[in-house]
Structure 1
């Protein structure tokens, strides 16, 4: 196997839709990410075909020009099935690919389905309620501060903060706005103040490596009450620092991540977002799983690449271990 095709959507692919806005469609792969993956695959001795969208892939199929293997970076937009489309089509075409399959991509994207699975597994996640499209909200949530977000989006799209002091009508207005923007159920989730930690892992049957970074303010302080919504991510002002998962207060994060890697395998690689509550962050503090990113970014300056570097792996090493992890399961 020498030829690898890369599936991805550019900004122009996503924003060509007349209804597209950055607030609802921010799903494209950054040019730096695609170029970094392609450049390092080439350096590893592979012929790289920048296929782009699923439409381009199907055109390759019609022309009988399919590659032997696909590096899947496709996430699409505006559908609760969007991340599952590429693996479903690739399975039908009989082409092996990197990353999770249709089932795991769909489950991890749809948080209203994921959360009951986490509860069944005995994994702590913030308490929540679900507001379906058109559902009347007649009662206030039990929590003073909540996160409102579409049930099947990523990159903090649509994420808003609601506080009980603003009242029921404001809650109804915010949820109605999200329903109109995303045409999807909305989760109302208790806000957990504390540390925000991302765990990254590569592997299926056993982890090739695992590590973590913590998001902190420009002063290096814990996030506590701050929220990483889309505006905050665009604005910047946050840093990432390495953290040691062997510390007693963080061991639970490692255990949860490895448990879910086994439950959901094959994933090949993923990141897991946690909030660790309380002020002194002792071993008794609670670690809440917020999200599983089965389509984690491979941008060389983002979390997974930084975690790999923490484990003594260059970016090229990261690309190689992901590829070898994926090839092993297909073989």
Structure 2
């Protein structure tokens, strides 16, 4: 049965955060130092320095993420790893805690998006992708001020205890270019289709580090991050959904490509 979005394999890989980071790291995309713990008693790699961040290796929607996910010493680390493995019945992912600003960047399209889209002008002439405005997630006034947690994500936009969603984010042009490029590369390297959204956070020196990718981003109007990004640039919700459908229909051979009028060469 035809469906929108990525194939099963890509969705499975993206849910495995350790595997995703290995793929990105091996293809020279910037990620923070990380290590997966299966038993909990493995020695910590010497390049991992406190504070560290601990979360389930194969969950989404912020599961297992709260202020206790940030650990500052060996005792806290081992206690949190034990909690994650015991509570979620899966490995714990430990990585350097990134103290900087957090962003999420959506991309949509494919090489021939202009042939099937209802809005071909949305898509880049060279690669066929649309980069949405960057959304900054400021959790400083949320229920978990240091992290974008499951509890914070459950709050409605504007509700007390919810993060501040700033879109478009106030960033320098060079950083904006990097964030959008990394999100596009993250999408391509995993073989994602139609649409995805990549979370990126800055390290202590202001360098972007990829956190994870959502190959099935939420599409709840006025709530989901991708919908907030689309709204910020004037894309109506119905147009967003219809274009995702058109991209998938074209890929499945259910839609004839539109005629493109090309200017004659001089």
Q: Please tell me the TM-score bracket, short chain as reference.
A: 0.7 to 0.9
Paired residue for 2:220? 299
TM-score, normalised by the number of residues in structure 2? 0.77
Paired residue for 2:179? 253
Shift of 1:233: 3.0
Paired residue for 2:252? 330
Q: Is the 8 A contact 2:37 2:94 kept in 1?
A: yes
Of 231, 236, 241, 1:314 maps to 236
Q: In the aligned structure 2, how far is the partner of 1:117 from the partner of 1:258?
A: 14
Q: What SS does the corresponding residue of 1:211 show, helix, strand or coil? A: coil
Q: Hey, which of these two has a bigger chunk of helix by percent?
A: 1
Shift of 1:243: 2.6
Of 160, 170, 175, 2:76 maps to 170
Any stretches of 5+ residues in structure 1 without a counterpart? 1-94, 280-284
Alignment of 1:2-17 (within 5 A): none
Shift of 1:107: 0.9
Q: In the aligned structure 2, how far is the partner of 1:217 from the partner of 1:112?
A: 24
Paired residue for 2:2? 96
Q: What SS does the corresponding residue of 1:316 show, helix, strand or coil? A: helix
Q: Which has the higher contact order (CA 8 A, sep 6+)?
A: 2
Q: In the aligned structure 2, how far is the partner of 1:321 from the partner of 1:209?
A: 14
Paired residue for 1:240? 165
Any stretches of 5+ residues in structure 2 without a counterpart? 112-127, 156-160, 254-266
Shift of 1:278: 4.4
Instruction: Evaluate the alpha carbon distance shift between residue 273 and residue 182 of structure 1 in structure 2; reply closer, same or farther with a 3 A threshold.
Output: same
Q: In the aligned structure 1, how far is the partner of 2:84 from the partner of 2:166?
A: 33
Q: Is the 8 A contact 1:212 1:243 kept in 2?
A: yes
Number of matched residues? 226
Q: In the aligned structure 2, how far is the partner of 1:140 from the partner of 1:120?
A: 18
Q: In the aligned structure 2, how far is the partner of 1:151 from the partner of 1:99?
A: 22
Q: What SS does the corresponding residue of 1:153 show, helix, strand or coil? A: coil
TM-score, normalised by the number of residues in structure 1? 0.63
Instruction: Evaluate the alpha carbon distance shift between residue 172 and residue 121 of structure 1 in structure 2; reply closer, same or farther with a 3 A threshold.
Output: same
Of 242, 264, 275, 2:201 maps to 275
Q: In the aligned structure 2, how far is the partner of 1:214 from the partner of 1:184?
A: 30
Instruction: Evaluate the alpha carbon distance shift between residue 264 and residue 170 of structure 1 in structure 2; reply closer, same or farther with a 3 A threshold.
Output: closer
Alignment of 1:218-233 (within 5 A): 226-233=146-153
Q: What SS does the corresponding residue of 2:221 show, helix, strand or coil? A: coil
Q: Is the 8 A contact 1:130 1:187 kept in 2?
A: yes
Shift of 1:311: 2.7
Q: Is the 8 A contact 2:148 2:163 kept in 1?
A: no
Q: What SS does the corresponding residue of 2:14 show, helix, strand or coil? A: helix
Q: What value does the CA root-mean-square deviation take over the aligned residues?
A: 2.4
Cα deviation digits, residues 116-169 of structure 1 (max 9, x gap): 10011111111111101x3423448632211111110011111242333xx423
Cα deviation digits, residues 275-303 of structure 1 (max 9, x gap): 12347xxxxx3111101011111011221
Q: Is the 8 A contact 2:35 2:45 kept in 1?
A: no
Determine whether 1:191 maps to 2:97.
Answer: yes
Q: In the aligned structure 1, how far is the partner of 2:19 from the partner of 2:150?
A: 23
Shift of 1:310: 2.3
Shift of 1:181: 1.1
Cα deviation digits, residues 243-280 of structure 1 (max 9, x gap): 3678112211111122233333342111110112347x
